[in-house]
């Protein structure tokens, strides 16, 4: 989908397990401005389900979930307040 767009920030969570992955992702998103794009890279397979669910529940848009062998990459957008 929007994988061509370059992320504004990248969060490297390799070696970390839950709940740190989820908490760190939400903490980083909170510091970002509307319209910005965050890339998250983890090597914990569980985050494949967890991070998109958390991001959506907390009002962000998870645009992409990718697997690169033992690495997982997520693209999450901070929505603009004016609408979709």
Q: Select from 4, 6, 83, 84 the one that contacts other proteins (CB under 8 A).
A: 6
Q: Select from 2, 20, 35, 80 the one that contacts other proteins (CB under 8 A).
A: 20
CB of 63 to other proteins, least distance (A): 13
Contact between 36 and other proteins (CB under 8 A)? no
Inter-axis angle of helices 47-57 and 20-30, to 10 degrees? 40
Tokens of 52: 């998109």
Residue 8 · residue 32 · CB < 8 Å: yes
CB of 1 to other proteins, least distance (A): 15
Between 16 and 62, name the residue whose CB sits nearer to other proteins.
Answer: 16
Q: How many Å apart are CA 38 and CA 76, to the nearest integer?
A: 5
Tokens of 25: 């992702």
């Amino acid at each position: 989908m929007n994988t061509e767009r370059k992320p504004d920030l990248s969060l490297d969570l390799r070696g970390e397990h839950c709940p740190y992955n989820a908490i760190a992702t939400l903490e980083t998103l909170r510091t970002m401005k509307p319209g910005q794009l965050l890339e998250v890279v983890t090597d914990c397979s569980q985050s494949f389900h967890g991070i998109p669910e958390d991001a959506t529940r907390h009002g962000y848009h998870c645009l992409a979930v990718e697997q690169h062998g033992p690495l997982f990459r997520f693209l999450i957008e901070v929505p603009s307040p004016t609408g979709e």
